[in-house]
Amino acid sequence: MATSPTTTQAVIVLLLTVLDTTWRAFVPTIGGTILGVTLDNVTGRAPLFTTLSIILGFILAALLVVLQIRRVRKSR
């Protein structure tokens, strides 16, 4: 059974949106955690920078996802 071009395009757009949301959620959180652990190891102030970077990463991830949702809603 062949799919129509419209269905194929919709699937591609959906997959790209999922990938876009995924990087927005994980990169700030994981990247911040790695940065925080590194700073803690360099400065000897564990778990200060790890805790701060996780919190800031979570806030940044939430902000990026909210902005993406607003952009998608606006484009409809």
In a domain, 60, yes or no: yes
**Count of domains for the chain:** 1
Could you tell me the pTM of the whole model? 0.79
Cβ pair 33, 54 in contact under 8 A: yes
Task: Please state, in angstroms and rounded to a whole number, the distance separating the CA atoms of residues 73 and 17.
Answer: 13
Task: Please state, in angstroms and rounded to a whole number, the distance separating the CA atoms of residues 71 and 63.
Answer: 12
What pLDDT score does 2 carry?
63
In a domain, 45, yes or no: yes
In a domain, 8, yes or no: no
Cβ pair 49, 39 in contact under 8 A: yes
What percent of the chain stands above pLDDT 70? Answer: 96
In a domain, 16, yes or no: no
In which element (H, E) is residue 55 found?
Answer: helix 48-75
In a domain, 17, yes or no: no
What percent of the chain stands above pLDDT 90? Answer: 58
